Structure formats: structure tokens, C-alpha cells
Copies of this chain bind each other. A is one copy, B any other.
Amino acid sequence: MAGLIEFVPNFSEGRRGETIEALARAARGAEGARLLDYSADRDHNRSVFTLAGSPEGVAGAAIALCRVAAERIDLREHRGEHPRIGASDVFPFVPLRGTGMAECAALARRVGERVWRELGIPVYLYGEAAGRPERRSLPAIRRGGFEGLGAKMLLPEWAPDYGGRAPHPSAGAVAVGARGPLIAFNINLDTPDGGAARAIARKIRASSGGLPACRAIGVVLRERGLSQVSINLTDYRKTSLPVVYEAVKAEAGRLGVSVAGSEIIGLAPARALTDCAAAYLHLEGFDTSRVLEGLE
């Protein structure tokens, strides 16, 4: 069996169904890759696709998707709750089976080079594909957003890895990288005021001394009349779903708001679910080798 790579592109469009379906068609049409899941969020104004395939398959899908996004999304008209720099905002490649991080980083460089050469969109390499230590961090690359990108790209330390010193006028720039599996986990709060969500995000995220391997921002979900702690768990073995959920629930309780629900965006590793069962059911000695569907 050839090596399998997961590709989880994020696009700055979560409202116009036509554009989202055009992206889905491009993903389905890619040879050597399969579309596993996609979802869009109107408040974030963002969509997340999950594909898996051979290195060549996901590379082809990345170029096809980036082309559709550049044709259909104009960031000058984009408003949404989530920080972003590009129409195709983030292109992460994740090793699944029979591939390693080095292969994903090399793939990110090849795709990044093609995005610039074939589509004229500048590229920052991030995560395990980063060429400089300060570009390992996606939030650092995205700081300032699309609106601040023109000025940022003129700074000597923010020259892109591929491309000139100016954003693509409508499509911005793309962060292309390699990373381990990540869980995108959003916890919704029963209040339209974003203050509690932001305070909780500050409290729990690793960058402010909170939970390890936890990134979090607080956002308002205007259309749903809720607010949200939007979380990325970059290593669920360090901070599990139950630990971050209980932390948010406890902090919310202190602030007098309650949890309205939660959602996982994209896929989650089986281990995240066995950890959850172990935590809540006081389950001893159960691991992913004992999930029935693991059989081959």
C-alpha cells in the first residue's frame, strides 16, 4: 500500500454555498485523493475540507483547490470571526500511514513552490515545513490578517518562502505546512457576548500558561446568537478532549455562562475517543487496538 497523507485545507468562505460546492467538486475530482469530509461555518466564514491520498494525489488536489479558491474568493470583501491571510488560508499535510513528517514537509515545499509558480500566490511554509523557527507558528504567520499582510510582507523577516513582496490582490497568501494530527474542537457558550469566550480562551491556551498543546481563541457566533471557544489541540496525548472540555466548562461556570454544545471539525483520531471513554467511564486498560473497526 502506498503512503497515505491527510490534507486539511482551510478556505476563507463559509457562507456562499456555490463556492463551497465548487471547492467540493474540485476535491472530488482530484485523482489519487479522496474527499472525506467538509464543513462550513457562517460565523467563522470559513470552510474546512479533509482529504486523504497519495503524496501526488493530495498535491494535485491542493493545486486544483487553490485555483478554485483564487477564482471565487475575494478577501477584500471577506468578513468573518477567524484570523486569515488567504482565500486558501492554510494547507496542512499530515502523515497518516506509510509516510513520515519529513515526506510531508517535502510535499509542502513542492506544493508551495507550485502555488507561487502556477497561480501567482505567495506562500509561507509553516509547522514542520517551516524554513525559519519563527514560522513554525501559524498564529505568528497570520498575525495582522489579510488587512495587514501588504505591510508585513515588506518587512525583511516576513519575505515569503515562495513569491514576491506583495500579496495576491484578492487571494492574499497561503500558509502551506506539515504537522501531526490535530483536533479542531469548538465549545459553544450560551451567550452572544464574546467576553467570556475570550477570557476562557486566554486562560486555557498554552501560550498564556494554560493547558499544554492547546491553542484557543474566543469568537462571537452572531448568526447562532452564541459565542465560542475555538480550540486546536495540537497533541491530544498532552491535553485530551475531556480535559479541555471540563476546563472550559468550569471556567464558564465561574463566569456565570453555560456550555451549549461542542463540535469537532474534520476527523479525530480513534485514540482521542478511547481517551474520552477512559476519562468519563473510569475505564481501565482499553486502547485503540480494541476498537472493532480497527480490523483489517
Contact = CB atoms under 8 A, between A and B. Distances in A.
Contact of A273 (B6, B52, B277, B289): B277
A290 interface: yes
A206 to B, nearest CB: 20
Copies in the complex: 2
A37 B289 contact: yes
Nearest to A269: B292
A181, A276, A285: most-surrounded residue (chain B CB, <10 A): A276
Contact of A245 (B269, B276, B281): B281
Interface residues of A, number: 42
Interface string A35-55: 011000000000000001000
B292 A241 contact: no
A245 B283 CA distance: 10
Interface stretch (A15-23, A83-91, A257-265): A257-265
Contacts of A277: 241, 272-273, 276-277
A262 B284 contact: yes
A78 to B, nearest CB: 25
Select the residue from A241, A261, A277, A280 with max chain B CB neighbours within 10 A: A277
